[in-house]
Amino acid sequence: MPHLPRNPRRRDIIRFARECGWSIEPAGSEQLKATRPGYVCVPIPGHNDNKRIPVGTANAVAKQLLYPLRQDQVIRDLRSQVAELEQHLTNISQDRDRLALQQQKDEQLARLKKAEEDQQVYEELLLELEERNNTLKHWFGKRTKKLRQQLQEAKQQLHKAKRQAASALKNLQRVTAEKRMVDAELKLILAALEQVEAVVEQAATQQARGGDTDQLLQTLLGRLQHILEIKELDA
């Protein structure tokens, strides 16, 4: 964009006007004007090219000279904005189509990812179940082996207990039989002793009366012999 110096002269304004696309024509009495088709002519202040122009006047003239450029710039900007808008609408349409395709793709990818995640979960669950199954099999095998060992030991202990019980029963029966025999022998001995005591009493009575005690002594010896025989049999 053209610009004026800080302290412009008429020649600076003329140069500025030409840079902005204006033509310079005489306006009489050493006056000049800037012309441009389709626009009102703009008077150039000053009577010679070296004449200093007040800054305010120069800025006002420059503003008029810049108007076509600014208007053209506005038109170009509008056209550019229209083109950008059209491109934006085209992009929106394309983006909408791409978005729809992307959305479908994302949905498919999401379903695929979900299926892969589900498959991974199922595989992990299956692996966990297999590990648990193997663990249970191992534990059940060890437990079964231990129970079998315990059952075998229990059977052995039961068999041993049965043998011990049978042996104890036999011993008890033997002791009971022996006790019965001893009880019977004791009864016989007690009965024989009672008879001996009776014979002794009779002998003492007979002797006290001065009678014959030989028969009673023979009887006493027989009873004693009988008792001795019983003891010998017991031995």
pLDDT digits (tens, 9 = 90+) for 1-58: 788 888 899 999 999 999 999 999 988 777 899 999 999 999 999 888 888 999 999 9
Using CB atoms within 10 Å of the CB of residue 11, give its burial: 0 to 12 exposed, 13 to 18 middle, 19+ buried. middle
pLDDT digits (tens, 9 = 90+) for 173-186: 888 888 888 788 78
What would the mean pLDDT of 154-160 be, rounded to a whole number?
A: 86
pTM listed for this prediction: 0.35
pLDDT category of residue 80 using cuts at 50, 70 and 90? confident
Choose the final residue of a domain: 91, 116, 141. Answer: 91
Report which residue type is found at 25: E
Q: Report the Cα 53 to chain-centroid distance in Å.
A: 88
The phi and psi torsions of 9 (rounded to 5 degrees) equal: -110, 175
C-alpha span between 179 and 107 (Å, rounded): 102
The tally of domains found in the chain comes to 2
Domain range spanning residue 189?
Answer: 183-234
Does residue 62 form part of some domain? yes
Q: Which residues pair with 52 in a beta bridge?
A: 9
Does residue 169 form part of some domain? no
pLDDT digits (tens, 9 = 90+) for 141-150: 888 888 888 8
CATH of the domain at 80: 3.30.920.30
What would the mean pLDDT of 81-92 be, rounded to a whole number?
A: 86
Q: Report the range out of 38-52, 74-88, 208-222 with the highest average pLDDT.
A: 38-52
Does residue 126 form part of some domain? no
Cβ neighbours of 212 (radius 10 Å): 10
Does residue 106 form part of some domain? no
Q: What angle do CA 160, 166, 172 make, to 5 degrees?
A: 135
pLDDT category of residue 232 using cuts at 50, 70 and 90? low
Does residue 111 form part of some domain? no
C-alpha span between 200 and 190 (Å, rounded): 15
Choose the final residue of a domain: 91, 111, 140. Answer: 91
Per-chain mean pLDDT for the chain? 83
Does residue 149 form part of some domain? no
Q: Report the Cα 39 to chain-centroid distance in Å.
A: 83
pLDDT of residue 67: 92
> What percentage of the chain carries pLDDT values higher than 70?
93
What would the mean pLDDT of 161-188 be, rounded to a whole number?
A: 83
Does residue 112 form part of some domain? no
pLDDT of residue 40: 92
Q: Does 223 score more than 90 pLDDT?
A: no
Choose the final residue of a domain: 59, 76, 91. Answer: 91
Does residue 114 form part of some domain? no
Secondary structure class of 31 (helix, strand, coil): strand
